[in-house]
Amino acid sequence: MHRRSIRPQPSAGGTPTRRQPSAGGTPTRRHARRRLSASALSALALAAAPLLSACGGTAHPGAAAVVGNTRITEAQLQHRVGELHDAVRELSSDAQTSERIISGSGSLARPTLQGMVRDRVVARAAADKGVTVSRAEVQSARAQLTQQAGGEQGLKVEWLTRYGVPPSRLDDALRENIAEQKLYAALGADPSSPDGKATVDKTLAATAKKLKVDVNPRYGTWDAAKATRADARPAWLRDVSRAPAGEAAGADAGAPEGTGAETGQG
């Protein structure tokens, strides 16, 4: 769900730039006890914007998509959707609402697959530029975000509701975020400018073409342009981010600005 994908905010020190805690300073204990509210959960039920278009493809039988020499199987896709279901159950204080959302999980497959494909495209583009991300960098980023979100629980809720990233994929999502930030730097692109974003979008589109991304017709086709734009986040992510303060947990604490994929890699 990602998804999306999260736009990097480079900093001089080489780690992802994150928003500072909102007015009031130190996160309160209330933030550490955050759970998904009924309002935030209801937003998850909205149909996701189809980043995978309605046209058919020629994906290999048994695969949800093929990216280069890598197959994303139907089983892997369903497992990823299942992780989102598990996260909703784990973090929700409203069992009835969470089960209603889960019952409509068919709408989650497309944006989830879009995130999985995009992760691989970003990883390849970064690798082509010699970009690497260490475990220490991921751990450092997570520690800072956890502090800004008021604790591990706040971080989990925030990234699920804002970016569609389940707790089990947090480290993968952070790794992609850091890799994309470094990709901007490697290309000499400014993520805060339209030209900089266009440069990276063009690189990702070229990488996707080189990898011959092929999506099973039941999930549409890969649209590299839409998949790399911040305004192409699934609708429920945008709606949750507009929820009243306190409804969508952690709307301003700690997360980098950006789009969706998830996004975690898998």
The model's pLDDT over 135-157, given as tens digits with 9 standing for 90+, comes to 999 999 999 999 999 999 999 98
Instruction: Name the average pLDDT for the chain.
Output: 71
CATH code of domain 29-241: 1.10.4030
Q: Which pLDDT score, from 0 to 100, does residue 222 have?
A: 77
Domain ranges for the chain, please list them.
29-241
Q: Which pLDDT score, from 0 to 100, does residue 92 have?
A: 72
Contact between residue 122 and residue 187 where contact means Cβ atoms under 8 Å apart: no
Q: How confident is the model at residue 120 (pLDDT cuts 50, 70, 90)?
A: very high
Average pLDDT in the 186-205 region?
93
Q: How confident is the model at residue 164 (pLDDT cuts 50, 70, 90)?
A: confident
Per mean pLDDT, which range of 11-20, 153-162, 200-209, 224-233 is the poorest? 11-20
Residue 132 has pLDDT above 50, yes or no: yes
- Most confident by average pLDDT, 129-138, 219-228, 245-254: 129-138
Residue 218 has pLDDT above 60, yes or no: yes
Q: What angle do CA 152, 158, 161 make, to 5 degrees?
A: 140
Residue 15 has pLDDT above 50, yes or no: no
